[in-house]
Structure 1
Amino acid sequence: MMNRLGLISWATGILMLAAVSACGGSDTDPPATAQPSSAPPSSPTASPSPSSPSDAASANATEAVRSYFTVVDQLRSESAADLKKLKSVATSAQLNAVTTLIDRSRDEGQRQTGTTAINELKVQSVNLDNSDPKAGKVPTVVIDVCWDVSKVDVLDRSGKSIVSPDRPDAGWTRYTVANYDYAADPTGGWRVATGQDLKQTPCAAS
């Protein structure tokens, strides 16, 4: 299965966004447009006491997205950090694509400074269908993220910035967060599975 993945400029060092096609991993990718079982309102922060399974899934997937950004920032900044750490925050096609891009940037001597901020985060849908994990029918949460890289730079081997002066500082990406281990781990099994860059007005950079 081919997927279009939203990946941030620190993955390429040159462009703000790279829409990358990549083959899925060992897990079958969840449907990109699954019918949501519910569509909770925007949830910028995790609810301390989720009132339903959908609310709990929304909160846990939101935390997974935040962890994804933190881990990718770390791996782009520390060339010696183990890329296997990506498995704790990503799966399927997203895992393959971001691993390949970070590995490539390391080979080219690129290094990130600064961290990516999440300015807005909106939960679009929750689908708790866990009827056939082997076929990709697993619980998913679709989340739109407006990221901000105004404080992020990418340096080459000599320490010179390679970020284009025309790079936008913010933009939107829609992530599908899946839980292939929902039956055993409904709280901590969430991983970013796919991403799609969105063509819409970005939120303001911080």
Structure 2
Amino acid sequence: MTNSRGVLSLATAVLLLVAGTSCANDDGDPTDPRSNPPASSPSSSSPTSTSPSESATAAATATVNDYYAIRNQLRRDPTQPLSMLKSVTISTELMTQQTLFKRERKQGLHQTGETKVVELQVQSVNLDNSDPQAGKVPTVQIDVCFDVSGVDVLDADGKSVVTPDRPDTGWIRYSVANYQWDSDPDGAWRIASSQDIERTPCDA
């Protein structure tokens, strides 16, 4: 049985702090700054910058979060359009998910509850964009442990089709790629592929 996958949003922010001050005499007379120093002013801090790798990690992680949220939505409400998958998937993953959802909807299946992300671990970041036509594009590899203990899948008659021995948690490795890196380095990240992996179960 195909495990449900879910997502919670996980992203980073950059704070820009710029402080400034000026000093002037109340009476307007010039004074020697050495004998009358300016009042204490807030210290200025330079803008916090993020590296391309950090930005890619944040954007790819956000995509994974959105992916799980959209899958939960589509499985709970079969009337929602499958075109929503294009905002978070591409390539093999898009075709796989479209096939899965079409089959489940044809069978009259729908989900109750929500798949949750228990752990999310970034395994690698590769920003090589040397040959997009051949699939050599910036890619972030992310491992996700999901929890489906609160999820049930019902048929058209409202009966559960979940087997009693279904594990509550599992691990999946995602390759999140950006095929439009040159024009949209932050917003064009999509999950390109995924695979189940054998790892020690995480705590649900």
- State whether TM-score is above 0.5: yes
Q: How does 1:41-52 map to 2 (within 5 A)?
A: 45-49=10-14, 51-52=50-51
Which protein has the larger Cα radius of gyration, Structure 1 or Structure 2?
2
Q: Paired residue for 1:129? A: 128
Give CA-to-partner distance per residue, 1:74-104, whole Å, 9 cap, x none: 1111111100110000000000001101110
- RMSD (Å), alpha carbons: 1.6
2:113 is equivalent to residue 148 of structure 1: no
Distance 1:63 1:8, change over 3 A: farther
How far 1:8 moved relative to its partner?
4.6
Paired residue secondary structure (1:9) = coil
Q: Which TM-score applies when normalising by structure 1?
A: 0.78
Give the number of the structure whose residues are more often strand, by fraction.
1
2:102 is equivalent to residue 108 of structure 1: no
- Between the aligned partners of 1:158 and 1:175, the Cα distance in structure 2 is 34
- Between the aligned partners of 2:202 and 2:144, the Cα distance in structure 1 is 10
How far 1:9 moved relative to its partner?
2.1
Aligned-partner residue type, residue 101 of structure 2: I
Task: Choose between structure 1 and 2 for higher RCO, CA contacts under 8 A separated by at least 6 residues.
Answer: 1
After TM superposition, where is structure 1 displaced by more than 3 Å over at least 4 residues in a row? none
Q: Is the 8 A contact 1:87 1:95 kept in 2?
A: yes
Paired residue secondary structure (1:164) = coil
- Between the aligned partners of 2:63 and 2:152, the Cα distance in structure 1 is 24
Q: How does 1:6-155 map to 2 (within 5 A)?
A: 8-10=2-4, 45-49=10-14, 51-155=50-154
How far 1:122 moved relative to its partner?
0.4
- Between the aligned partners of 2:197 and 2:203, the Cα distance in structure 1 is 15
Identity of matched residues, %: 54
- Between the aligned partners of 2:184 and 2:12, the Cα distance in structure 1 is 19
Q: Is the 8 A contact 2:176 2:192 kept in 1?
A: yes
